[in-house]
Amino acid sequence: MKPFSLHAVLKYRQQLEDLARQRLYQALEVEARLREAQLKVDAELAELYRCLQRDQEQGTTVDRLILFDHRIELVKEEAVRRQTELDKQKVQVEKKRQQLIKTSKDKKIMEKIREQQNAAYAKYLEKKEAGMLDEIAVLSHARKQLR
C-alpha cells in the first residue's frame, strides 16, 4: 500500500516558512526606519549642542539660553523614546528570526520524514517484486518438472 503523501503538509510548511521570512523582513525594515530616526535625533542634538556652545562663546541672552536648554531636554527625551522603541524592535526582530529558524527546521524535518517514507516504500516494493520473481521462478521450475 502506498504511504500517505506528504505533499500537502510540505506545501503548508513552506507557506509557514515564507510567512515567517516575510514577517522578519518587515520587522527588519521597521528597525531600519527606527534606526534612521534615532540617527536624525542624535544629529539634531549634536547640532543643538554646537549652536549652544557657539552662542555661549559669542555671548547671548538668558532667554535664548533657556530656550536652548528646553529644546535640548525635549530632544534628549525624544532620543530616549526612540532608543526604547529601537530596543523593543530589536527584540521583535530576534523573535521573528527565531520563528523563521523554527519553521525552517520543522519543514526540513518533514522533508526528511518524506524521504524516509519514500525509501521505506521503495524497499517494500523491492521486497514485493523479489517475492513475485521468486514465485514466478518456482512456478516456472515446477512447470518444467512436470514436462
CATH number, residue 93:
1.10.287.1700
pLDDT at 1: 61
Mean pLDDT of the chain: 91
In the chain, the number of structural domains is 1
Q: Classify residue 142: in a domain, yes or no.
A: no
140 part of a folded domain: no
* Prediction pTM value: 0.72
Task: Compute the distance between CA of residue 138 and CA of residue 147 in angstroms, rounded to an integer.
Answer: 15
**47 inside domain:** yes
Which residue is it, cell 514465485? 135
Query: Would 138 be classed as within a structural domain?
Result: no
Residue 69 falls within a domain, yes or no?
yes
Residue 46 lies in a domain: yes
Q: Is 131 helix (H, G, I), strand (E, B) or coil?
A: helix
Q: What angle do CA 147, 128, 120 make, to 5 degrees?
A: 165
Q: Please report where in the chains the cell 520563528 appears, as a residue.
A: 99
Q: pLDDT (tens digit, 9 = 90+) per residue, 27-40?
A: 999 999 999 999 99
Residue 114: inside a domain:
no
pLDDT tens for each residue of 21-77: 999 999 999 999 999 999 999 999 999 999 988 888 888 888 888 988 999 999 999
pLDDT digits (tens, 9 = 90+) for 125-145: 999 999 999 888 888 887 888
Phi, psi for residue 119 in degrees, rounded to 5 = -65, -40
In a domain, residue 2? The reply is: no
- Show the domain range for 59: 7-107
